[in-house]
Amino acid sequence: MIATTATAACVVFGLHTLSGAARRASGAAAQDASVRRSVWDGVYTDAQAKRGKESYEYSCATCHSPDLEGDPGRDVPALYGDDFVGEWSKHTVRDLFDLVRKSMPKDSPGSLRAETYVDIVTYLLQANEFPSGAQELAPDVTILERVGIDKTPPARK
């Protein structure tokens, strides 16, 4: 009986401890999601950008060209370079994600999975020489909204 009570107390204590750790972890994640980040902070992985390149080649390169040059004669913008970064500077990754998701591919907008659209966006970030990092960029609009596209690295305090 004493052993059973002690075991039950350990189980309850263990569950309480795990519950507290989970609350702290989810609180830390929520806090991280609330902090503004920059594309200069390494917000995607190389593996994610590689998947994005493969998806881009399959779904986007026909119009935007394999080298992201676009086609000015058909009013298809380039997806890299100073003009692209200048156009998107002071916007968020969510803005770029939303535009791509809602309007591309041109013949079937919104037809790809959210993860695929995010992978394509990370490929565009990589092509524009924004650094990769250790964590993949999630297709969560709250997180995407918090990542700014800055032409130059923001000043750090």
Cα 123 from Cα 129, distance rounded (Å): 10
* Domain with 19 in it: 1-34
pTM: 0.78
Residue among 58, 67, 72 nearest 124 (CA):
67
> For the chain, what is the domain count?
2
Structure confidence at residue 98 (pLDDT): 98
Of residues 32 and 4, more confidence is placed in 32
Q: Is residue 91 part of a domain?
A: yes
Amino acid in the structure at residue 135: Q
Read off the pLDDT of residues 42-73 as tens digits, 9 standing for 90 and up.
999 999 999 999 999 999 999 999 999 999 99
Together in a domain, 22 and 48: no
Q: Which of 143, 119, 108, 114 is nearest to 47 (CA)?
A: 119
Do 105 and 137 sit in the same domain of this protein? Answer: yes
Residues with Cβ within 8 Å of 52's Cβ and at least 6 positions away in sequence, in order, are 118, 119, 120, 121, 122, 123, 124, 126
CA–CA distances in Å: residue 65 to residues 49, 50, 102, 121: 17, 17, 20, 16
Clarify whether residues 90 and 24 are in a common domain: no
Q: What is the pLDDT of residues 100-155, one digit of tens each?
A: 999 999 999 999 999 999 999 999 999 999 999 999 999 999 999 999 999 999 88
Based on the fold, state whether residues 30 and 42 are members of the same structural domain. Answer: no
Tell me the per-residue pLDDT of 6-35, one tens digit each, with 9 for 90 and over: 444 333 334 333 344 443 344 344 435 578
Residues of 98-120 as b/e, b for ≥16 C-beta within 10 angstroms?
bebbeebbeeeeeebeebbbbbb
Do 120 and 134 belong together in one domain?
A: yes
- In this structure, the answer to whether residues 43 and 114 fall within a common structural domain is yes
Q: If you ran DSSP here, which 8-state letter would residue 78 be given?
A: -
| Residue 36 banded pLDDT, cuts 50, 70, 90 | very high
In a domain, 120, yes or no: yes
Same domain? 68 vs 130: yes
pLDDT at 155: 83
Whole-number Å distance between alpha carbons of 26 and 30? 6
Question: Is 119 within the bounds of a domain?
Answer: yes
